[in-house]
Structure 1
């Protein structure tokens, strides 16, 4: 019964909150005009204090007690990260003082601390995800480091620039398809159980090849969808109608699941 309900809900992902990031992103977009207006009015010092207070709360009590941060799976956390990104853009001159080598060392160091903390937690207090949670201090610091490193990549090839501009927006489909409950429940949930009996190196190779294959395959699927929508705009109305229907069947699905 639970699998059937999950399958039905997968057809109405937005209304029924199946994609936490997509829903959180919508909330962020709705608040962006107010957030951006506030950033423009604040001095750099004021913005620093606000971000410091938010990070201090979300990476300590927010991480240990969850609260409304929800381990980083929330619109609030997305807003905090947006503010951090805005601050990095405003203080580009300060960011440039940190070398790429230092950033890489920070990334590696934070990763090792997270893995060490996770290993200690598993051994002495049982499995704990707080070391690898989105709002873990180590994950936040290493994420900031890797984002800055990626901003320093310069693509000089015009052809490659055009290719990236065309296919980068399609990468979101990888998240949507891979996170779809129907796809996970009927495909990836048990598709790779055979890896457990494989040699370690063979297992890693299979995982890498499968990941790359799925990534490329999902992008190709979304590229086909984008071309289809471009030639037949009426299909967009079908998608909107599907979400509207999802809203009306929400109570029915919920009551069915409680039986």
Structure 2
């Protein structure tokens, strides 16, 4: 049977999505099966459940706006690097599409009233009464740390919904990487627009991120009973309190550092 806006909303409520909450969604809509209306119906179902006082948040990252020297899938020839750095369009939150984030993220960032943070590499978009407060002031350095939308979500006791994806897609766990002792750092780069509308390439130093450990952290979260597991449409769905997940991951990562050192 095809899934509908109404049936998806019922599934989301049964999973535990709360009216009036702030919800960060990571989604692979292919996993949901056939949905009448596709991504539009999914977005409508999410907003139906959240209600007018709820806020929907999605990652709108731009992985291709990054230093080509670090590209691995696929790598590009070294003599291309200066051309890419010199010619890539500067990030424009109103125009630049997200990459590898999926159809739902693209739809949400283009909704009337949606707001998007202005980080050239790891932006987020949000729609709802908390949207501006979540995306404003996204710092270039420590891009998923204390001056990022992830920290604003933490302050608001947001929930995280993994819709058809696993814990390796749970961006919130990166906040825990910033909160572990002495995280390693690396140089990153991206093309930005200046206040005058000119593009330029900028460099900054940031924490080395590693999502390879996230499935293990997620499995332990589930074993501890911290994740609600169900189905939305035909796909697996996981719902968790972001603050609980980040705190758990911080303890896990801190213990790992101590074991290795």
Give the TM interval when normalised to the shorter protein: under 0.3
Q: Give the TM-score, by structure 1 length.
A: 0.26
Q: Could you say which structure has the greater relative contact order, defined with CA pairs below 8 angstroms and 6 or more residues apart?
A: 1
| Higher relative strand content | 2
Q: Give the TM-score, by structure 2 length.
A: 0.26
